[in-house]
Chains A and B, each alone.
Chain A
Amino acid sequence: MRFFVRRTVFYAITFWAAMTINFFIPRLMPGDPVSALIAANQGKISPDAIDALKALFGLDENTTLWQQYVTYWAHLFQGDLGISFSGREPVVDILARSLPWTIGLVGIATIISFTIGTLAGVAIGWRRGTRADILLPISTFFSTVPYFWLALVVIAVFAVRLGWFPASGSYDRSMVPNLSWEFVGSVVYYGTLPALTIVVTSVSGWILGMRNMMVTVSSDDYVTVAQAKGLPERTVMLGYAARNAILPQLSSFALSLGFIVGGTLVMETVFSYQGIGYQLLKATSAKDYPLMQGCFLVITLAVLFANVIADFAYGVLDPRTRQEG
């Protein structure tokens, strides 16, 4: 149990640190972005929003930094992330609207990618020097290009040229979102290209990581012992080699989540997919600071949460962590 306690403490600290960074970023910015913004949008920003902006950047001179910090946390716990001044609606509402799309798309695509990549890595790592090795350079190529660039190519080929899938959006706009099969079908149809992009770009990392772990683990003594025992090939490969190789693979899954999520955010823009990334970039170009911060906060929370799950899975799979912590 000590393992889980330690991890919980760690995530609490990480959460606190991320939120604190979020608090300080606008305050550390040089110059006076708010005045510049107000000047640029003469009369278009409501007085309320100006106050909120001043509070956000710590320009309110009547309060100390500590008071601001306390207020920041109080607002956080109340779920108050301010008002988006471009959309003039609470940031929380925008986030609540966008988050499910990102989690659905990125979550499912990442799980598919991880599963395929890990299985392929097991096979390639176990039988080195076979024709399957050709997969390595191909997938390496796709892993080195940015998500958004592959998104451009995928759209050009499958949407513009072949017309198989829509080039943008997340569902057929003529439909009203509901839980019918028809609507779900539309969501899947629109989500195919973005998901494909994520899978193709990220799968190579999993293949390569798992392959390398399989190669490393395969020369461990207990794999030789398993072969010496005359166990069936499948048992040795899965129960001994892959079962141990998956552990570091899970750790790196946790660690690369932030990277993957970061990459997919920009890809959402290319597809005009109405997730968090789309909102973040829209907010960034509109200098909608409250929304930017809200997006960052939610993304960080989501990644933290996924990390917790990956860690938990690790703890379940590795008996050693359960004991020593």
Chain B
Amino acid sequence: MAAELVTTETTQVGTEQTAPTGTKRRFLWMRNTKALTGFGILAFFALIAAIGPWIAPYDPDERSSDLLQPPSWEHWMGTTHLGQDVMSQVILGTRSVLLIAFVAGFLATFIGVVVGITAGYVGGFGDEGLSALSNVFLVIPQLPLIIIIAGMLPSAGGLTVAVVIAITGWAWGARVLRAQTLSLRKRDFVEAARANGERTWRLILAEILPNLTAMIAAGFVGTVSFAVLSQITLSFIGITPTDTWNWGTVLYWAQAQLALQRGAWWWYMFPGLCIALVGISLTLINFGIDEFVNPRLRSTGLNAKTLRRRGIRPRIGFTPVVHEAKEDRA
């Protein structure tokens, strides 16, 4: 039983509380307010996307005599130059924004996972080739590439845009996953499984993939927010059909009809805020994942006020001293 005495001490006193397991892990997820807020906002928009056609107050294409009206009780987000209801356009545009973004996100993540894990797992020439490929795709500016491809296509409908975004946006995930797979492959439990003669695909599915979940999730969320921005940009510059609504199309018409010069701020303000809200929700979710993966980033769990009241300023190299302990010993 002498082995109970561990021969190497854990290096840092400060980082001992890493990676809890099992139920505690899930519990941490739930405690992360950032991630929860992000999920909340995203769920709200997902709901709008699902029930949009039933809750939109007007037909987004329907013209009326209320030309270019600021927000009012009849039109919460104002009207366009043709008297169309901006809010209805925004509500109905939500579905396409989220749908395309998530399809693109799934596709890109899928490519990234396949390329990344393969490169990290097989090593050698295969790895060199695949890494070079993803590095090339990382360096080539994506948005211009998307614009070029989408601009040359005869028609750039929703699914096409999603595919184009996925083809250009998978490299980041692949790169991160490759590095992680590489380090996982050398860990004891993988080596042990391999020594036991487990099949490669089982090894990858059962031993490696579960340990990459957080990173895959982070990559997915990142790609989704990139896809939101990309497709809205494509719609804004008029590459995608301008008669199907999404937030970018609303902005396209606002720009084309000189909303700026006419002082019609509501026309571009509300779609923009929606983009920002979705963006923020995704960023918050990613913060949550980051803090989950890298415990050093985790805030200490207490609000700053309480710390200040107790006179504690956590910092490296100067441990705070408070005289709170009971001096009950001689």
Contacts and interface: CB of A to CB of B under 8 A. Distances in A.
Contact of B260 (A10, A33, A152, A284): A152
Contact of A143 (B147, B237, B283): B283
A228 B233 CA distance: 51
Contact of B151 (A258, A261, A284): A284
Interface stretch (A66-74, A83-91, A110-118, A287-295): A287-295
Nearest to B277: A144
Interface stretch (B88-96, B202-210, B313-321): B313-321
Given A153-B269, A219-B12, A259-B141, A10 B316 contact: no
Contact of B239 (A29, A167, A284, A296): A284
Contact of B317 (A127, A227, A289): A227
B116 interface: no
A270 B149 CA distance: 22
A266 to B, nearest CB: 5
A285 B256 CA distance: 13
Interface stretch (A42-50, A189-197, A299-307): A299-307
Contact of B276 (A144, A226, A295): A144
Contacts of A148: 233, 236, 251
A119 to B, nearest CB: 19
A176 interface: no
A188 interface: no
Interface in A113-167: 127-129, 133, 140-141, 143-146, 148-149, 152-153, 155-156, 160, 167
Given A129-B314, A215-B297, A285-B237, A10 B144 contact: no
A144 B225 contact: yes
Given A216-B294, A224-B316, A21 B151 contact: no
A16 B152 CA distance: 22
Contacts of B46: none
Contacts of B172: 255
A221 to B, nearest CB: 7
Contacts of A13: 132, 136
Contacts of B313: 129
B296 interface: yes
Contact of A152 (B154, B225, B255): B255
A129 B304 contact: yes
A257 B304 CA distance: 35
A25 B237 contact: no
Contacts of A128: 299, 314-315
B268 A152 contact: yes
Contact of B147 (A133, A254, A284, A303): A284
B119 interface: no
B232 interface: yes
Contact of B152 (A29, A224, A227, A257): A29
B136 A14 contact: yes
A304 B147 contact: no
Nearest to B236: A148
B135 interface: yes
A262 B144 contact: yes
Contacts of A31: 154
Nearest to B148: A296
B316 A21 contact: no
Interface string A19-47: 00100011001110100100000000000
A143 B139 CA distance: 21
B132 A224 contact: no
Nearest to B149: A25
B109 to A, nearest CB: 18
Nearest to B254: A152
A281 interface: yes
A26 B255 contact: no
A280 to B, nearest CB: 7
Contacts of A155: 260
A300 B290 contact: no
A145 B276 contact: yes
A269 interface: yes
Nearest to B147: A284
Q: Which of A26, A29, A262 has the most CB of B within 10 A?
A: A262
Contacts of B82: none
B255 A30 contact: no
Contacts of A299: 141, 144
Contacts of B148: 25, 284, 292-293, 296
A23 to B, nearest CB: 12
B139 A14 contact: yes
A146 B151 contact: no
Contacts of A170: none
B152 to A, nearest CB: 5
B275 A144 contact: yes
B146 to A, nearest CB: 8
Top 10 closest A-B pairs, CB basis? A144-B279, A227-B317, A262-B143, A258-B141, A284-B151, A149-B272, A17-B136, A145-B276, A31-B154, A14-B136
Given A144-B225, A153-B268, A259-B141, 17 more contacts: A14-B139, A17-B136, A17-B140, A18-B139, A25-B148, A29-B152, A146-B229, A149-B268, A149-B271, A156-B263, A167-B261, A215-B296, A223-B316, A236-B317, A255-B138, A255-B139, A262-B144
28 contacts: A10-B132, A10-B135, A13-B136, A21-B145, A25-B148, A29-B153, A29-B154, A129-B307, A140-B283, A144-B276, A144-B278, A144-B282, A149-B271, A149-B275, A160-B261, A167-B260, A215-B297, A219-B316, A221-B11, A223-B317, A224-B317, A258-B138, A259-B143, A261-B144, A266-B237, A270-B255, A303-B140, A307-B139
Interface of B: 11-12, 14-15, 132-133, 135-136, 138-145, 147-149, 151-154, 172, 225-226, 229, 232-233, 236-239, 251, 254-255, 260-261, 263, 265, 268-269, 271-272, 275-276, 278-280, 282-283, 290, 294, 296-297, 299-300, 304, 307, 313-318
